[in-house]
Amino acid sequence: MNVSRPAVHPVEAPPPLTEAAAHGPRVRMKDVQGMPGTKGGLLLRLIQFIFAIISVSVMATTSDFRSATAFCYLVLAVGLQSFWSLSLAFVDIYALLVKRSLRNSIVIRLFTIGDGITSTLTFAAACASAGITVLIGNDLDKCALNHCTRFETATAMAFISWFAMSPSFLLNFWSLASQ
């Protein structure tokens, strides 16, 4: 007599839902435009570089920018920022071409520290140059003897470059803090 016996396979009960699972799986922040390795990040780096180069060029073409230490500091700080921004623009271009993400914690830490240092230097130099420009133009009334318009233009370009640097720093810092 052949009697068939049913085969019973144990079925595991699903794990209970936790608070995080009830709201869906935790998703890491993807590539937000403006972060390294994105088209927005490349655009920000190119804007930083262009305005930094304009600032350095305008200031360096004046014959008497060496008369004030703040103007020399502006040329140095914005020159450093232009080098930094161009270097990271090349990194962004490479990452976009090979379709790689720059989400490595060491890379993000390097970008965050570099952006923080260069943006602080650029902002301080632009503020110092603005102060000297106001001193020369308004307090001493020596704009006829100096290149006030060029000093003001170079300072304004440095501020615009700093404004473009701020989102890069903040996005990198946010990405670093969310790891």
> What pLDDT sits at residue 19?
62
In a domain, 32, yes or no: no
In a domain, 15, yes or no: no
Q: What is the pLDDT of residues 43-74, one digit of tens each?
A: 999 999 999 999 999 999 998 888 889 999 99
Residues 162 and 125: their CA atoms lie apart, in Å, by 10
In contact, 80 and 118? CB cutoff 8 Å: yes
pLDDT < 50 regions, the chain: 27
- Residue 71 has a CB neighbour count (10 Å cut-off) of 23
Q: What is the pLDDT of residues 98-114, one digit of tens each?
A: 988 887 889 889 999 99
Query: What is the extent of the structural domain holding 105?
Result: 39-178
How many domains are contained in the chain? Answer: 1
Residues 73 and 100: their CA atoms lie apart, in Å, by 37
In a domain, 84, yes or no: yes
In a domain, 4, yes or no: no
